[in-house]
Structure 1
Amino acid sequence: MQIQRETAAEARAHRDTAQQSIADIARFLQETFSQRIVAMVAGIEDPKQVGKWCKSQNAPRFDSEVRLRTAYQVFKLVEGGENCHIARAWMIGMNPQLEDCSPLQAIADDHFKEVMTAARSYLQGDL
């Protein structure tokens, strides 16, 4: 039963991520974490670009979009199993499965699979 619930939560997070525009995802992440943190995750130097993405004035490069969509999907997965406050804290805190790096920093460093594995472990109560 537990596995089915997690699989459903993963499917919901994936579907939600696929249905959102990059402007909506950038806006959500900016409101949740800050413009500066979103720029770091996206791998850009100018945080003001994030504001332009939020307003659909321009779009991020492909690699930046992948990072933003990954951060959003992982956040939504953890939020689905917990709540938005815990998901935010989990995303910015040190994680022993990620060599004490935060999930957001690991995403910025392109460790997508490792972050998703850490999120699944957290939700299963392994950490």
Structure 2
Amino acid sequence: MSTTVARGDLRAYEESLRLPAPELVGRLRSLLGAKLVAYLGSVQETRAVRQWADETDPRNPSTDVLNRLRMAYRIAALLAEKDSPGVVQAWFQGMNPRLDDVAPARLLREGDLDDIGPNILAAARAFAAAG
């Protein structure tokens, strides 16, 4: 992994942990769009995403969903170091050969984060390093 990717990965990791939930959701929404964040958060409407991003709204995603969104932010921020939001969105939604041709967004939404998280990160790092 290149030094640039490694630094971007570390920065994205630290931000994913330090950002308050509303700011994290807001940044993720800027990178991925409200519909994809809603999908990752297992909600039907983007209204929930808007509520999560509103600092004055007491509604927050569950701990499980927040952890998935933190991982998604970490990956999106890493990829955004080199690519546009459109490319980052396409990466999340496309069938990924490094992930047995399953979309990273689907794995993040449906999989056990402890099991699939490292694989998705490895695929993102490889994509970022190749770009």
Structure 1 gap segments, 5+ residues each: none
Aligned residues: 125
Matched, 1:50 2:49: yes
Q: Using the alignment, how far apart are the partners of 1:107 and 1:42 within structure 2?
A: 9
Q: Using the alignment, how far apart are the partners of 1:83 and 1:101 within structure 2?
A: 22
TM-score by length of 2: 0.80
Matched, 1:114 2:114: no
Q: Using the alignment, how far apart are the partners of 2:52 and 2:70 within structure 1?
A: 13
Cα contact 1:26–1:54 (8 A) shared by 2: yes
Structure 2 gap segments, 5+ residues each: none
Q: Using the alignment, how far apart are the partners of 2:9 and 2:32 within structure 1?
A: 22
Task: Name the SS for the 1:6 alignment partner.
Answer: helix
- Note the aligned Cα RMSD (angstroms): 2.2
- Give 1:68's aligned amino acid: L
TM-score by length of 1: 0.82
Q: Using the alignment, how far apart are the partners of 2:100 and 2:8 within structure 1?
A: 26
- Give 2:14's aligned amino acid: R
Cα contact 2:32–2:85 (8 A) shared by 1: no
Q: Provide, for residues 65-103 of structure 1, a one-character-per-residue CA deviation record: whole Å limited to 9, x for no partner.
A: 001111111001111133433222222222111222222
